[in-house]
Amino acid sequence: MSETPDRVPEEPRGTSGATSGPAPDTEPAISLRGLTKTFGDFTAVDGIDLDVPRGQIFGFLGPNGSGKTTTIRMLTGTLRPKAGQARVLGVDVVRHPDRVKRRIGYMSQKFALFEDMTVEENLRFYAGVYDLDPQVFAAQREYVLRMADLVGREDELTRNLSVGWRQRLALGAATIHEPELLFLDEPTSGVDPVARRQFWDLLYDLASRGVTLFVTTHYMDEAAHCNRLAFIYRGRIIADGSPAEIRADHMEQRIFDITTRYADAVLPQLENDPEIEEAYLSGASLHAVVSASSTLTDASLRQRLVAAGCPDTVVAEVDPSIEDVFVNLVARQR
Amino acid sequence: MSARRIRLLIWKEFTQLRRDPLLIRLLLVMPVLQLILFGYVVAVDIRNLATAVVDLDQTSTSRKLEAAFSGSGYFTITQTPATEDDLRPLLDRGTVKVALVIPEGTQDRLDRGETAPIGIIVDGSDSQISAVGSGYASQIIAQFNADRMTEQGVSVTAPGIDAQVRVMFNPTLDPVNTMIPGLIAAIMMISLMAIMSQAVVKERESGTLEQMFVTPIHATEYLIGKLTPYAALATAQMLLVAAGGLFWFRVPFNGNFWVVLVGLALFMLTCIGLGLLVSLVSRTRHQAQQAVMFIMIPTMVLSGFIFPIQSMPAIIQPLTNLIPLTWALEVLRGAFVKGSGFEALAVPMIVLAGFAVVIFGASIVATRRRIAE
């Protein structure tokens, strides 16, 4: 990866007392203090504090409507916060959005390509927007076409590409200017599992080259791919840390995984059981949460369910997944 | 502001337009189709009105008068009933729209130096035909009188056939002459409002608008890049209509080119503003279409583009002042037909400028704020 020409002067940081010059890369990629945004009476983002270290894949998780997109829009300088501080790559993005825009990339779930333009034209447009010089563009174009597996299809209209290719091309367009920080807002929604897997490989590749990735998703399995996570719920951050830390700090309960043909009957059974704190669907099976002090075991829980008229039920105690942690965190908030 | 980025945005817009062959065809066909509709369909009815002549005089004067009518091109004598009683059924059935009755002794009266009354009967069931038909008839008679007097060397004050109506400015009363200047403004309004608002809403729907504002593109650059291509397209369409009007329909242009240019420029800003406002209130292209209809229908009906304002009920007439197209028509028709200059058109010009400032200004401020949101 060639060096991004950094024409944007770093903001002088008077308080640090350091000698002037470019801000050290030691400052977090993103640093938020008390960031708040309201729409009328509705508080979309409620005073969040967050630090995202450089060079990591940071997962920003939360259900729909919890404030993920609003946060991203404030971080990309397209939405003004009501209160609080937001520093992106060492720059106060509220006061100087233009100093940041050249150094960040953004890709949304809509894969905002111009559908009535060709692959080549889309790339040329975004390269032009960032004023890439022709040699840099030639190299980047080459790289993106190979990465998106679109060599030889440069003159196809993007509307004719299938979703996996569109997604990779959108990623290429969003990174054509080699941003230091890339925001991805639910980049994999509506994409099949194979394409999702391939897409995450590309994200790892970017991260390995030093790009910081800020990814929102509501696919909990994707959370495990991240170096660090933050959970946002109703505009507040309810947990953050590495996946292991989050599991350790927020999940003292035990989890049973229940595979059954009678999920419709078993789920109410579990919900009514006083020993079980929480029961929910998880993928193809059911998860039941019990307190750490519970005496329930695989066998005793299975016994109960069989006795209740659900034979062929398999019960196994499992390590909590990120999804389990999240469901429990949300349940506790209610 | 970067001129390079604006050029890039304009290139992008034209590239996208090129990929929509249906839209381009519509943009070219629409003005041509409207030229044909408003130029021919509206014009044909008023020419060659089927006319009956009841000549009870049967003299050289009465025949000369008939010849003046049939030679004018507005009246075609299709029936020559022997008596007035035979006229009624012809008018009732609509076989003729106009009837000319020359009473016995018309030539004698004129020779004696008396006023000679003649009858012109017009089918009033079509108000346009009756108004225009009687106008033409009065004109022909006035001409007839004038010719007769010069022939005889009589002074103008001598009595003749009584005629009082004068049609000024558009002596042939050809509706094309007022229709085409109006069409120029109407086409611009449709193009800028309907097509530009679609383009902006489409960009929001597809998420590319959101994407672009994460890049260094500024709101002002985006707006200029968006407006320029559509303003250019609308200008091309107007030139097409103007050329068709001037060279094919031979609409006379008596006015000042700059009056037309300034009037259209002011109206263009208003149209751009309306288009942007439509795109601001619409989430989907479908909604934008509905919003455009909501503006276009009262505009077409109340501006005087099709129906004369004078023929509207008195309560409605003040409302026409709120329609920007009303004032654009006044400027364009004034300049084309009457050859009016800036001084004569000061009021409509100032009103157009007011609309431009308020509507265009508000739309730019609102769009910038919305984009910044």
pLDDT in tens, A265-306: 888 888 888 888 888 888 788 888 888 888 888 888 888 888
Q: Which of A129, A183, A186 to mutate to test the interface with B (most CBs of B within 10 A)?
A: A129
CB within 8 Å: B4 and A108? no
Q: What pLDDT digit, counting tens, does each position of A208-267 carry?
A: 999 999 999 877 778 888 999 999 999 999 988 998 888 888 878 889 998 888 888 888
Please tell me the distance from the alpha carbon of residue B51 to that of residue B91, in angstroms, as a whole number: 9
User: Rounded to a whole number, what is the distance in Å from the CA of B4 to chain A's nearest CA?
Assistant: 8
Q: Measured between alpha carbons, how far is residue B212 from residues A108, A323, B201, B207, B209 in Å? A: 12, 34, 14, 9, 5
The predicted structure's pLDDT at residue A19:
39
Q: Is residue A18 scored above 60 in pLDDT?
A: no
Residues of chain B in contact with residue A113, where contact means CB-CB under 8 angstroms, are 208
* B320-344 mean pLDDT: 87
The predicted structure's pLDDT at residue B160:
57
Handedness of CA B46, B48, B50, B56 (dihedral sign): positive
Nearest to B210 among A108, A116, A128 (CB): A108
Please tell me the distance from the alpha carbon of residue A207 to that of residue A213, in angstroms, as a whole number: 7
Nearest residue on chain A to B217, judged by CA atoms? A129
Asked if the interface predicted TM-score (ipTM) of this complex is over 0.90, the answer is no
Nearest to A129 among B15, B19, B215 (CB): B215
Q: What pLDDT digit, counting tens, does each position of A125-154 carry?
A: 999 999 999 999 999 999 999 999 999 999
The predicted structure's pLDDT at residue A9:
42
Nearest residue on chain B to A38, judged by CA atoms? B373
Which among B42-51, B171-180, B201-210 has the top mean pLDDT?
B201-210
Q: How confident is the model at residue A29 (pLDDT cuts 50, 70, 90)?
A: very high
Find the DSSP H helices in B19-126.
21-36, 42-44, 60-71, 87-93, 106-112
User: Rounded to a whole number, what is the distance in Å from the CA of A88 to chain B's nearest CA?
Assistant: 13
Q: Which tokens go with B293? A: 């209809």
Could you tell me if A260 and A310 are in contact, meaning their C-beta atoms sit under 8 angstroms apart? yes
The predicted structure's pLDDT at residue A270:
85
Q: Which residue has the higher pLDDT, A49 or B46?
A: A49
Please tell me the distance from the alpha carbon of residue A160 to that of residue A156, in angstroms, as a whole number: 7
Q: Is residue A4 scored above 50 in pLDDT?
A: no
Nearest to A131 among B4, B214, B373 (CB): B4
Q: Which tokens go with A12? A: 């002088």
CB within 8 Å: B8 and A78? no
Residues of chain B in contact with residue A78, where contact means CB-CB under 8 angstroms, are 210, 213-214, 372
Could you tell me if A51 and A220 are in contact, meaning their C-beta atoms sit under 8 angstroms apart? no
The predicted structure's pLDDT at residue B127:
62
Q: Is residue B140 scored above 50 in pLDDT?
A: yes
Within 10 A of B163 (CB to CB), how many other CB atoms are there?
A: 18
Residue A107, exposed/middle/buried by CB under 10 A (0-12, 13-18, 19+)?
buried
Q: Does B21 touch chain A (CB under 8 A)?
A: no
| β A104-108/A181-185 pair status | parallel
Which among A165-179, B20-34, B35-49 has the top mean pLDDT?
A165-179
CB within 8 Å: B213 and A98? no
* B338-358 mean pLDDT: 89
Q: What pLDDT digit, counting tens, does each position of A93-114 carry?
A: 999 988 899 999 999 888 889 9
CB within 8 Å: A129 and B217? yes
The predicted structure's pLDDT at residue B168:
42
Q: Is residue B321 scored above 60 in pLDDT?
A: yes
User: Rounded to a whole number, what is the distance in Å from the CA of A134 to chain B's nearest CA?
Assistant: 15
Q: Which tokens go with B32? A: 């041509």
CB within 8 Å: A130 and B217? no
Q: How confident is the model at residue B304 (pLDDT cuts 50, 70, 90)?
A: confident
Nearest to A121 among B15, B210, B217 (CB): B15
The predicted structure's pLDDT at residue A159:
92
Q: Is residue B153 scored above 90 in pLDDT?
A: no
Which residues in A have their CB inside 8 Å of a CB on B? Answer: 76-80, 98, 101-102, 104-106, 108, 110-117, 121, 125-126, 128-131, 157, 174, 183
Handedness of CA B319, B325, B330, B331 (dihedral sign): positive
CB within 8 Å: A78 and B372? yes
Please tell me the distance from the alpha carbon of residue A258 to that of residue A263, in angstroms, as a whole number: 9
Coil, strand or helix: which one is B114? coil
CB within 8 Å: A128 and B5? yes
Residues of chain B in contact with residue A102, where contact means CB-CB under 8 angstroms, are 216
Q: What is the Cα B57 distance to its own chain's centre? A: 42
The predicted structure's pLDDT at residue A161:
92
Q: Does B213 touch chain A (CB under 8 A)?
A: yes
CB within 8 Å: A106 and B214? yes
- Taking the CA atoms of residue B73, residue B78, residue B83 and residue B87 in that order, the dihedral angle to the nearest 10 degrees is -90
Cα-trace Rg, chain B: 27
DSSP 8-state secondary structure symbol assigned to residue A223: H
Q: Which residue has the higher pLDDT, B179 or B47?
A: B179
Q: How confident is the model at residue B340 (pLDDT cuts 50, 70, 90)?
A: confident
**Strands, E assignment, chain A:** 30-39, 42-52, 57-61, 83-88, 91-92, 104-108, 181-185, 212-217, 228-233, 236-241, 254-259, 276-282, 285-290, 314-318
Please tell me the distance from the alpha carbon of residue A122 to that of residue B99, in angstroms, as a whole number: 70
Lay out the sheet containing A91-92: strands in order across: A42-52, A30-39, A83-88, A91-92
Please tell me the distance from the alpha carbon of residue A164 to that of residue A180, in angstroms, as a whole number: 24
| β A30-39/A42-52 pair status | antiparallel
CB within 8 Å: A110 and B207? yes
| β A42-52/A228-233 pair status | unpaired
Residue A24, exposed/middle/buried by CB under 10 A (0-12, 13-18, 19+)?
exposed
Q: What is the mean pLDDT of chain B?
A: 83
Q: What's the start-to-end Cα distance of chain B, in Å?
A: 19
Q: What pLDDT digit, counting tens, does each position of A111-121 carry?
A: 889 999 999 99
Please tell me the distance from the alpha carbon of residue B279 to that of residue B367, in angstroms, as a whole number: 9
**Strands, E assignment, A138-205:** 181-185
Nearest to A130 among B15, B208, B215 (CB): B215
Could you tell me if A81 and A94 are in contact, meaning their C-beta atoms sit under 8 angstroms apart? yes
Residues of chain A in contact with residue B213, where contact means CB-CB under 8 angstroms, are 78
The predicted structure's pLDDT at residue A266:
85
Q: Which residues contact A31 (CB under 8 A, 6 or more apart)?
A: A50, A51, A52, A85, A86, A87
Q: Does B220 touch chain A (CB under 8 A)?
A: no
Q: Which residues contact B259 (CB under 8 A, 6 or more apart)?
A: B331, B334, B335, B340, B341, B342, B345
Q: Which tokens go with B54? A: 């009841």
Could you tell me if A65 and A128 are in contact, meaning their C-beta atoms sit under 8 angstroms apart? no
Q: Does B215 touch chain A (CB under 8 A)?
A: yes
CB within 8 Å: A101 and B214? yes
Axis crossing angle, helix B257-281 with helix B285-302, rounded to the nearest 10: 140
Please tell me the distance from the alpha carbon of residue B280 to that of residue B196, in angstroms, as a whole number: 12
The predicted structure's pLDDT at residue A106:
94
Residue A196: in which H helix or E strand, if any? helix A193-208
B225-264 residues touching A, CB cutoff 8 A = none
Q: Which residues contact B286 (CB under 8 A, 6 or more apart)?
A: none
Q: Is residue B42 scored above 80 in pLDDT?
A: no
The predicted structure's pLDDT at residue A82:
92
Q: What pLDDT digit, counting tens, does each position of B247-270 carry?
A: 888 888 878 888 999 999 999 999
* B73-80 mean pLDDT: 85
